[in-house]
Structures are given as C-alpha cells and as structure tokens.
Structure 1
C-alpha cells in the first residue's frame, strides 16, 4: 500500500546503499588514494638512484630495487593509513549525525504515509494505481453506494457497466493516454444512476494514478453544469454545421439587434466572403422597416412569421421569414419563396376568380382531387347538406362525406349501401360523365352530375329538381288546401281580382252578410255584391268604400282596417289587404260577443267607481260627523270626573269610566277609518320633521302605561343610549309604534313580557316587537295586514281589525317595510324598518 509514495518512503537496503555511496564520495578517501599514489611514485624514483650508486662503486646498503620498492610501498601505506584513520575518525561523527537525521526523516515519512493512507481510505474517493505499462491495477478507497459504483475491484474497472457509455469511453481513452503517453487529465463523468464524479489522472514516480471522487452538492452541481455546457457546445456546433450546409439564410442577433452569427447561405446572400465578415460588417439582407417590424411584433410566446420582400444580389426576392425571440436575443431563418410566391399569386387569382364564380351560383358544386379529398365547395353545397364549415375545411374524403350524410339521414335509403356507394365513387375511374337522380328523405329530388377530371378527381354538380318536379302537384295541393282552409274558417273571407270580380269566398262570409252561394259565385262583380249586401249595411263606409279600394288604379294600394255594426246588431272587424297580382282580400271577424262583453265590463267598472266614490264620501262624512259628538261626549265625561262638579257614587264613577273608555275606542276607530280613507284617496301627506328617537320612545312608553297595567304585561325596551335623530312624520311614527305595541299587549299572556328592540342601520330606524302569545299560522300571517281582519286567537280585546292595516299604510308612506314572523304557540315578532327621509323632503314639508 506504500508503493504509491516513492518520494516519501524507501526500504532500509536502499537507504544503506545510499549512505555508503555518500561515504565513498568524502574528501578523506580521496586523500588516501593520493598518498598511495605518491608512495608508488617515490619508490619508482629511488630505484634508479640506487642502481647508479652501485655502478659508481659507492657504498650502498644492501638493498636491491625490490626492497626499496617494498619499503616505499610500505611507507606510503603506513602514511596513508594514518591519514585515512585520522580522516575516518573525523567523518564518523558526521556520519552519525546524518544517520540520525535520516532516521528522523524516515519516521516522519512513515507518519505521513499513515495519514495519507487514512485520507485515501475515505468513502468519497477511490484511487486506481498502475505500475508501468503492463502492471496490475491496485485500488484504494471506496465510493458511496448511491453513486452506483461497484464495490468489488474487477467490477469497478469495468467502466462500461456502471458509467454512461459516453463517460465510460472518455475515461478509458484518458487512462490509456495517461499510461502510454504520460498525459494527465481531469474529467467529469456520469454514472448510470445520474450521479456525477470527478476523475483526475496523474503520473508519479513511474506509476499512473486515477482518482474517482464523489462530489459534494455544490461541486456536483458545478460538474453537472460542466457536463451540460459540454453537451450544449456539442449541440450548438452540430446545429451550426447543419445550418451552414443548408441553402436558407439563418442568423442570430443579440438583445440590441446586432448580428452575432450567420450561416454560409446568409453570407452568400449578403455578398460577403465569409460568415465572420458578414457579422463583423453587420451586413443585412432584410430592410430596416422589416427588422423594426420583427423587433416590434416578435415575442417569446408568438414568433414572427411572414413573407417579406427584399433585394438580394440586385434582384427582388420574397422570403418566408421566421424570427424567434429569446431572453438574450433572437434568431431567424429566411426561405426563398420567390418562384413559389409568383406561382401562388397566379394560382390564387385563378382559384379566387373560379371560386367567386361558383360561389355565386345557386347550384351546389363540389370538387374532389385525385385522392378523393374535398378541394372546393360553394355556399350552395354547404346549405344543401347542412354541413359545418369546419368539417368541410378539413378536406374530408368523399367516402367519409357520404358516410356522414348517410348517418345524418340525408341520402336516399338504399337496400345495399355498400354497392350504391361504390357505384357513386366509380366516377373517379370512369371516362364519361355520370348522371343520376337522388330522392332525398326530406322530399328533395336532385339530379347529380359527376364529371371525372383527366388528371384525376371529379366535379359533382347537384341540380335541385324538386320545384320543377313537384310544381304542379304543389300548386294543386295548395289551391285545394287553401279552399278547404278558407271554407272552414270562422272569419269571413272574400278575394277579388284586379277587375273587381270575386275569385273565392267562404261560407262564413256569406253567412255574415246574409247572401246565397249563387250571389257570391266565382266572377261576380263587386257592384252586384254591393247590391246583395246593401240590406245588411248600405252606409258610405261600407261596400261602396270597399269597391273603390278594390277597383282603384293607384300604384300603391293601401290596406285598411275598421269596425262595422250591421243593422242586424252584428259587430264586424274588417280588413282590406292587398295581395300579389293586384288581388285584394276582404276579411270579416264577428266581434259581437267581445263588444258586448266589453260594454258590460265598462258599465260595471263605472258602477264600481261610483260606488267607491260614494263609499269614500260616506266614510269621510260619517267620520267627521261622528268625531264632533264623540269629542263632546269625551269632554263632558272628563268634566264629570272632576271634583268641582260634585262627588259621584261608586256606580256612577264606574259608568263614567265605561263611557270614557268606549268613547276613546270609538274615537280611535273613527280616526283609523278616516286615516285609511285619506290614504286610499291618495291625499295623505306626511309632516316631516327631525325627530329625537330617544324622546319618541319615552313618549310611547308613557302613553302605553295604562294599557300595560290593564293587560298585566311588562314592556321592556332595549335600545342604545344614543339612537340619534331621523327625519320622519313624528305623529305617524308614533301611531306605528303604539299600534304594534297595543297589538302585542292584546295577545300577550297576563304577567308576560313584551320586548321591543331598537337600533340603527345606517340612516334607517329598525325595531322589532315580540310577544309570547299564542302565535299565528301561516294563513293568518299572510292576511294579518288585511283590513277588518280579525281572529279569535284569545286576545284581551276585539277590534275592527284596522291596526296592522294602518301600520302597513304608514310604513309604506315612509318607504319602509314591515314583516311578521310567527308560529302557533311560539309568539309573534313584528319587524319594522323606517328609512330616514332626505333633506329636500324636510324642506318641502316645512314649506
């Protein structure tokens, strides 16, 4: 596992060799070698001297040359040994220091190797090491399981099994280049699971290293962006190559509208030597107005697409331009449609002229092409079959069209539909025109003419023969039906020709005028008819006027209407109606019964109006006549109660109280009747004034004191401290409150509570009165506001039934509303809303 770090750790043997190699290179060893060399040289120098001395006869020790040489070598050796020993002792200390330093470095290297081994064993990294070109791979570390990388070494090296094909190819090529050519690399690859890995390849100390690293989120995102960038670059390059090979000009602009890229066809159209020159010089093939139009109308959602005209190489050219706008600019393409545009315009003019001609024909026409698809149809064809324009514009097949018409029951019924359809479609294989008659289910008869085209296809013409075939039958039937219809009409009908002679008449006409069939026979002149009808009615506005209108030579014959009352008492409504062919029709309707009924209703209505006027006069007269004596009775009764008149015994006081109570009740009834009569007559006017609602409630509660004590009922009024003011008729509003409270007290059980709640909603005064009485059914609630409506519901007092009716009348005069909510056994609640009047009404009331 330490083989991957040669610069940090080496075996001990290699270290010793290195030390000895360094020792051999020291200066002491070199000096010893020089001493040995000097001794040898000295011996060689002394040997000739000895020989010369011997030849001269000088006394010389008994040394021969060999001895001298030996001594010299011995002397050199001893000298060298002494010197070497001194130097060796001196260097030994240095060697000990270096060995200690190397041992310390070795320990540090071992520590670093352990740290690096721990780092390599990280689960987010896996390293593959190759020794030499053919060495076996060694793997270190692991990758997370979620990346999809295999955990086993042989499976990991099979890159094609867990990397995407393109990524696997890139990794294998990069590793091969690293091992053979020492070319480092750094790649971003994708696994089969879509995870991104960073792969780095390097060469250290003759070994090849490939590091597979699982990226964190940020680095993974960056790696994915790199992959996407490479993919986009590749796609852009491919598309640019494709666009350079086509014949249509293509361009790309920035946000300011400047060209940033064009293809070869664009540069040719702009007469530039290269696309780069066309971009650099900003050469345009579209006019300024066209470019401004594109810039103004093209949006990301709606690209510009139109045919524009421009000049290219000095010739007018039509381009079908498509321009798409994006966030950073736009790109477009122009397709040369000059020749097609010319042919299209000519064909369009021809087809338009042909279509306009056929479209104005009343005869239905349909043209099918060689594929039996609908190519053209006119409005008469669509109207004949009642087909949708959307379906026809889809160019349906002829067989499909026949099936649709058959499903809609618009084609003739056939015993063999398949054979009949094949016979119709055989015109596309025929050489001659085919003609057939179709009797449609709707009664129409069509002559179908199908003509085959020499180049394929066929033209179908549908001639409607219904009117031609059935004209005489329809005419005879019409005449017969007309005669039968007129004969059975209750109205009298007579038709006269332009010569004033009668064309037809019905029995009702003869019966109304009391003439015979012979007198009204066909061809009888109106003068003779006038003489025959004279005994029934011979006034100037009768037959003389009819004869003048019928025989008039005026260009415009006016119609006329009126009423005749015959001598026999019949009342006839007549009408003179001009008909085509200068004919005139007289009609007479017997309105005798209607006139009599109308007259009877008018007489009855007049009688009712007189009776109503008499009733109003009676009510007003009686009310006013009763009020005066009642006022006197009440006044004298109050006078008798005073002590100044004299004391009354108990019975007399009781009688006086009954007289006073009855007189007050009677006065109230008279006042109510008079108020209702005033309302019915439409002369009731409200006296508007500004009312303090709190004071009004205090006044009402004070007046209700006696009535509450008499009924044994408690009144509870719940209202805000400040109800404010409103504009209304104080007297009528007070009557409304008192009558509603009186009605509630009348039906509330003794000892119960009548609750009254008051509040304001905007400017409206709203209040509700609730009692715990016996309640009312739905029928009684619906009739509670009717006049003189009374019910035996257990009230303490019985009255004429005018209280709630007056309440409703006064509330309506204030433009308010009043409602009753009640159920049998659950009491009754009266809800009332009185809107405040406007300031102009207050001013008008003051005036």
Structure 2
C-alpha cells in the first residue's frame, strides 16, 4: 500500500516538474543565476548548464517535499475518518445482529436475479431442528426457501405467489402462515432500496394466542356456515327459538313454506309456520314429556297449500329447536294402502277360492268368507286366532279332512310347509266326495298362506270333455264330407274317415299329428294346383287375431271337384271342410255355356235390329217426304178425307222415325260409338225448344205447363241436341201420364258445380214394384192411362244423362204424381270429355 502511494506521489511530482519547467518562476530563477556576477561569466558554457540543472532539481525537490507534506496530512485525516466510520459500522452491525437474534426470525433479501441472501436463524421454521454446523446451517438456508416442505400447502402456494409479486412489482404484504407442525409464522414482505426483503418471524405470546383465538373463531364460523348450509339443504322446515320464544333462525325450506321472501324478512317479521293453537299444543306436549322430542301430526298451510306435518320441537342450549316433516304423501300412501287392503279383503271375500293366512307362530291372522263356508267353522272360533294345528284337529273331529291311517304323521307333514322354501301343492280327497287342490305358500316375512280350490267340478268337466271329444270324433267319422282340424301350432289334430279316404292318408299318419306342410305335400299328389293350397296354409299358420275365413275350389285328377272352406276357430285352431261339388260344377258349366249362347243371341239380335233400323230409316224418310208433299198439295188438291189420311200417315211416320232413332241411339251407346257434340247450351232456350215439340200434345190433352227457370240460370257445356231430346222424352212421359186439367212443371236450379233439372207431373204415380224397372229398355206401363210407348224414353234419358257425366233419379207417390230429376255437372268428367272428343 505504501509503495503504491509513493509511486503515485512521484508521478505527480514529475508532472509538476514538467509544469514548473515551463512557468515564469523557472525562467526567473534562470535569470537570477545568469546575472550573479563575474562567476557566471567565468564559468564555461557547460558549467552553466549544469548549474541550471542543479538549480532546477533543487527547486523540484523543494516543491516535491512541500507537496508530499500536504498530501500526507490529508491522508492521515482521511484514514482517521475511515477508522471512525469502520468502528461505527461494526457497532451498528453488532446492534443489528443483536436485534435480529432477539426473536426467532430470518430475513431473506433478493437483489436482482441473483441468489437471495438469508440472515437470521432459519431453524425456527424447520420443526425445531438444531443444525449446529455451518454445512447444516447452509442446508437449512436452502431448505427454508422450499416453503412447501415446512408450511401447509395452501399457505406455501400463497406465499410463493406474493413473493413473486414483490420481486416483480415491489408490492408489499403481511400474512400469518402455519407450519406443518401447527405453529404460526408471521411473514412481512417489502421493497427497500431496490431490494425485496422477506421477514419470517415466529409468533409468540399474546400475538400467538390472538392468532389461535382468531383461527378458532374462524373455524367455528365455518362450522356454523356449514351447519347453516346443511340445514338449508334439508327440504323440511327447521327453526330455532331463543329463550323468549321468538324465531332466531330459520332454514330455506321454512322461508319457502311461509313464502317470506328471505330469511331476514321472516326473522324480522316473526312469520310463524304454525298457528297459535298448534304452537301451544306443541309447547304443552314438550312440557308434558319433560322437554323430550315427540312428533305431533298437525295441519298447516305450506307454500299456499294445506299439508300434513309431523312437528317436533325440543329444548336445546339457548332456546328450542324444531322441525316439520311433510307427511302428506305418506298419509296419502297410507290411506291408499288401507283402501287397497280393504279392497283386497273385499276381493278375497268374493273369491270362490278359500284363503287363510297364518303368522310365524302358526296363528290364523286372516281368512275370507269362502274359507269359513268351506269348513263350516264358527266365526267366533276363527276370530280367536287359533293355531293351524288346532284347526286341523277340529276339522278331523268334524270328519271334514281326508281319511288318514296315521293322522299324526299326516298333520306333521302338512305343518312342515312352514319350514319349506317353496310352495307345496297337492290334492285333498274329502269324505263328502269333493276334491280340493291345496296350495301352501310360505310368506317372505314368515308364516303360511293356504289356498283351497275346489276342483271337483273341473275334474267332472274334464271327464265330460274327454267323453265329448270321443263322441265328436265318432260323429265326424260318420260324416261323408272330409273334415280336418288343425291346431294353433299348424299340426293336424283331427281328421275324419272321409278326409283320410279322399286324400288317401292312413290313420297312423294322423295320429302322429303332422304339420300342415306335410299334409299339403300328401294332398298335392291328387290336386297339384299350388295356389289354393298356399291360401289354405296361410289361414292355418296365420298369427293374426283378425283372421278371416277362406273358400277355394280344388280339382282332383280324377275329374271331381271339391269346395274347401277354412274357418278360423278360437285359440288359433282352423277347421277345414270339403264338399263334393262335381255335379254342381257340371250344371254350372252347362248354364254358363247356355248363358254365353244367349249373350251371343242377344248380340245378334242387337246387330239385326241395328241393321234393320238403318234399312227402315231410308224408306221411312221417303214416306215422310212424300206425305209432306201431299199435305202441302204441291202435286194437286186433296179433299178433306185425303188430307186427314195424309196427316195420319205423317204423324205415324214421325213416331216410327223417332222410335227408330231411339233404337239407333241406344245401339250406338252400347257400341260406345255415340259421341257428344260439346257446346255451350243456353238452358232457357233449350227448354223452350223442347216445349215447342210438345205444344200440340199439351193443347190436345188440355194440360198446363209451368216453367220455373230463374233468370240467372245461364248456360252449361253439353250436347244441345241430346239435352233437347232428354227434355222432350221427359215432357212426353209427363203429358202422357197426366189427365186433362192437370199441370206439368219444369224446374231448373243451378248450384256451384251442378245443374239440376226436374220435371213434375200430377198423374197417378208409379207403384214401387214398377219404379225399379222404368229405366229398363222396352219396359212399357200404361198405369191406367191411354199412354203406351215402346219403353225406350226413360232408357234414352238415363243413357244421355250418364253420357254427360250426370245422374237420373225418379220419385213417385201413388195418386200424387211423379218427379224425374236430371243432374248435369257444370264440368264434364275426364272420361266423358275424352268420349265426347
């Protein structure tokens, strides 16, 4: 240290020398030497130089000495100041260490990103371990930073997060931590001069007691909150009363029950769940039982509905606590159970089967009316709950039990059913000839239930059934018609002798009950057509509950014909019956051939009439033409008789032409060659044109005509010529069947989709047996009038109306008249439209 200081002094001295060499002081010194007299002049030039150097060195040394002395004084003063500061720092360090070691604490400092420094004794936080050696102290310093090794895990996690925030942001904190050994440590973190300091100190004395008391209070508060949450989770209303009887606490269910809105509002208003009389009754019950809890069944309004509650309230520390359990559903179930039990008792009393129930002690606890009637025991005896063995003994005395050589063993066997695991069943043959099927069924809770079924009638019916089945089989064997019975499983159950003979099935095969497929395979050798057999198989094997019967015809290879009928029977069975219809089929074939011949003859007749009508039409037209020429007297004048004859000829010819035209129209309709000429037909003008055709007949017969045709009836699409022909025929019939002075009426109505045309007359009417045939061809009836036609008018009317897509109906009352109604569609159906086109 001294050498370094000397070197630094010399360096500074050399610098000063250099500086001084160029200053005016150095120049003045040189001048004074040069001016020192003859000595200087006498000295040689180099001596002067040496002298100048010596003078310079002397001056330098002097100045250097002065500077050294001044620096040495400053150094001494600084050394003394540093020694005083060092002594002060040592004292402060001692005092800080004394203060630090006064408590069990440790201070951890972080400066930047380096390792933290730890001061103090970290052993207080390490469960009292005495580390001793320096290596152990260093290990403890490292271990104290592993907070999770000596603090509780939640506290360690929170402390690490707060230290991270302190180092990053300088945010201080103060927290009380708990070690894994149960001791408390106070942690205080703060930022000082750019460092993060953490002070860990063990709490002692009153502070520790205060922390422990606070922890106990917090734990108690948590327990209270948990208890309150538990009480709120209970669905039954719970309450606590103080010493004065006022509500101090209610749970959420209580608030909902009284519809109080909130717990605070209920407690503030003192809203009670029970009325005053119920609360007084609960208080009396509690006082009478010495404060013990006893539930009372009370009625109260819960959430606006009347409910049944089991209320219990008992004395507790600080008052009384109570709870109300809603037993409305339980009461309802109990009432339902009682009703069901009563219904079961009533049902069992009505059963013909005798029922008796015994408990674990073999005592009678229930019996129905059939049981009492079966054995004829006194009601008083049964109501006394006798033992099962006592009942058996009494029945033996009354000679109502089966006769037994060793009654004691038989009785022990019967009573052994109490120890059985499963129900036992067996017959009892009573001395009076009855047979009982006795079922002894052990009860799950102990005891036994007896069922006594009188099967005497069943056995008798079974015997009768067997005899009936035998008789039925013999009866079926006497039938000439083949009969077969199939069961629900599709197997042949019964086949009579005729069936076996027709289908050549031996009796042994029938006894094996073959399936329907095997039977069909055997029968198809004689009747190979598969279609009817598949239908029969579907009926026999069908599983549908709505099976229907089947009728089919089977042709045998020998030329005979059988009609088969498959009739479904109850329980899925099917009965097959076969009838020989060979003779009927032969007659039917003959009739069919004859009918076909008649149809061909009718067709030839229609063809003949059609051709004859055409052949008659031409000469008839000539006759009408020449008659009109004669009537017009174009070729010469006629006398009155000739004119009358000409009129008769013309009228008869016109009538004959109309008949021929009708025949031709019917023939065209039958041949589907008549086409309608569709046009827009004005209804009123068409009716007027048809009326003009019968005006002469109306005048001759003195018959009035009424037309009821609305002005807005309009028009409709139709064949105008055929509509006029329809109206003409209807008016002709109406005039022909009317008497002088009567009226004929034509009425027309229009709906949204139809045109309805009606023709009324006031004639004698048509009898019901005749009205069904009036539309048939060549059906002519005078009905007491002079009118006589060929019977084509109404037939033509119906044909033309139906050709238009309409319909015709007739209503008639004897003595009142007849109404014929024709309905035309306003739009022609598609099929009629194509025919018209």
Considering the TM-score relative to the shorter chain, is it more than 0.5? no
Bucket of the pairwise TM-score, normalised by the shorter protein: 0.3 to 0.5
If you compute each CA radius of gyration, which structure gives the higher value, 1 or 2? 2
- TM, length-normalised to structure 2: 0.44
